[in-house]
Amino acid sequence: MKKRMIALAVSMGFVATLTAADDSALREKAKSAGLLPIPAGVPEVTGNPVTREKIDLGLMLFMDPRLSASGVISCNTCHNLGMGGDDNLPTSVGHGWQTGPRNSPTVLNAVFNAAQFWDGRAEDLKEQAKGPVQAGVEMANKPENVVVTLKSMPEYVERFTKAFPNEPDPVTFDNMAKAIEAFEVTLVTPGSPFDDWIEGNDAAMTDEQKQGLDLYIEKGCSACHSGVNFGGQDYFPFGLITKPGADILPPGDKGRFEVTKTVSDEYVFRAGPLRNIALTAPYFHSGAVWDLGAAVALMGTAQLGTKISDEEAAQIVAFLHALTGEQPKIEYPILPVETDDTPRPDLSALPVAN
């Protein structure tokens, strides 16, 4: 009955003041739909115990442009911790001013994704971290050059030795990735209005946001975008019901098919995690849609086969804003100083015209 009342209020387009009982019912509904708060504490990851030494080292590596061949591009260039953990570009700019093929996903809460990248090709964050460092259109470096670079700086050698004790050769490409993973595990954003609300504070979300949450479930958004991260758990064909235009779904990018080589995986992508989505425009793997309401409406036609009205989209957008959590507080690291043995920046790659 309460649920019907909420749905009625929504469908009639007026703002009803919800009662505590309404909140309680909606909360149960959200939990049943698999919408979960960010758990307390630092998440654990497989095969990489998270220590203070690794986190501190990982922060340095994350911010260090000398992991790139040019010395210009760091992880933070495309996963800017001051801008929602991404770069607010359709697709990122990398070595030689080349643009990458897909929109940079946020690093915030990425630890809660089942796998990394839009096509899930990296099992976890430590595998992911090795990708962009080597990609020709991103940081364009080679693992052996990264290791020579890190070994050339005594402070890095000392920090790797402390972060990976009892290892005969602690400064390795794999350990670089493990330290970055340990740092990224700390990049969670608790305390969003949704988290406060789901844990019992009725006042943490506005009525419009609650109506948006109800719609988010009723329309079917939560079928794919659920879990702690409101997505990032599974793969779905983009354009399940209606294929978007080539501007949004470029024919050349077949998504997960490139990973599995299975025909049924053509144009299949990971359901985007929606936490902090209000901070990470533009949207989709193509980065082609800037407006969050337009992205919601497109999902209605493309994935759900339903028309989402402007008013409904606005309510869902209001709810999505309730997924913006406390952004990580980071002390900008003072990086180790170079020596004569540090490889010189390589800017020589010819830039590619866009």
Asked if residue 261 binds its own copies (CB under 8 A), the reply is: no
Check: CB of residue 88 under 8 Å from CB of residue 94.
no
The helix (run of H) or strand (run of E) holding residue 321 is helix 310-321
Tell me if the bond preceding 282 is cis, omega within 30° of 0: yes
Our finding on whether 135 is near its own copies (CB under 8 A) is no
| 338 near its own copies, rule: CB under 8 A | yes
In sequence order, the β-bridge partners of residue 93 are 99
Contact track, its own copies, 308-337, x by CB under 8 A: -------------------x-xxxxxxx-x
Q: Output the CA torsion 121→123→127→131 (10° steps).
A: 10
Alpha carbon distance 202, 32 (integer Å): 18
Nearer to its own copies, 44 or 158 (CB): 158
User: Closest separation between CB of residue 69 and its own copies, Å?
Assistant: 12
If binding is defined by CB under 8 A, does position 99 make contact with its own copies?
yes
Report how far residue 272's alpha carbon sits from residue 115's, in angstroms, rounded to the nearest whole number.
Answer: 11
Backbone φ and ψ for 296, nearest 5 degrees, come out as -60, -45
How far is C-alpha 34 from the chain's CA centre?
19
Is 64 an interacting residue with respect to its own copies (CB under 8 A)?
yes
Q: Choose one: 24-32, 81-89, 223-231, 236-244; the region binding its own copies (CB under 8 A).
A: 81-89
**Residue 247 or 331 having the CB closest to its own copies:** 331
Q: Residue 350 interacts with its own copies (CB under 8 A)?
A: yes
What's the CA gap between 15 and 277, in Å, rounded? 24
Catalytic, out of 28, 44, 127, 138:
138
CA distance 303 to 306: 8
Annotated binding-site residue? 285: no
The answer to whether residue 279 forms part of the interface with its own copies (CB under 8 A) is: yes
176 annotated as belonging to a binding site for a ligand: no
For residue 115, the one-letter residue type is: A
Answer for the pair 222, 216: CB distance below 8 angstroms, yes or no: yes
Q: Does 33 bind its own copies (CB under 8 A)?
A: no
**87 in contact with its own copies (CB under 8 A):** yes
Residue among 38 and 81 whose Cβ is closer to its own copies:
81
Nearest to 48 by CA among 183, 248, 153: 183
Can 138 be counted among the known catalytic residues? Answer: yes
Question: Does 95 count as an annotated binding residue?
Answer: yes
Options 77, 175, 229, 286; binder of its own copies; rule CB under 8 A: 77
> CB under 8 A: which stretch of 8-16, 47-55, 84-92, 163-171 binds its own copies?
84-92
Helix ranges, 100-235 (H): 125-134, 143-151, 154-163, 173-185, 193-198, 207-218, 221-224
C-alpha to C-alpha distances, 155 to 50, 162, 258, nearest whole angstrom: 20, 11, 40
Please indicate if the annotation marks 83 as binding a ligand: no
Residue type, 246: A
**Between 40 and 350, CB nearer to its own copies:** 350
Which CB sits closer to its own copies, 66 or 270? 66
Name the 3-class secondary structure at 227.
strand
* 224 annotated among ligand-binding-site residues: yes
Residues at the contact surface with its own copies, assessed by CB under 8 A: 63-66, 70-72, 77, 80-84, 87-90, 93, 96-97, 99, 278-279, 281, 290-291, 327, 329-335, 337-338, 340, 344-345, 347-348, 350-354
Residues noted as catalytic = 138
Q: Which residues are annotated as a binding site for heme c?
A: 75, 78-79, 95, 221, 224-225, 299
Q: Which residues are annotated as a binding site?
A: 75, 78-79, 95, 221, 224-225, 299
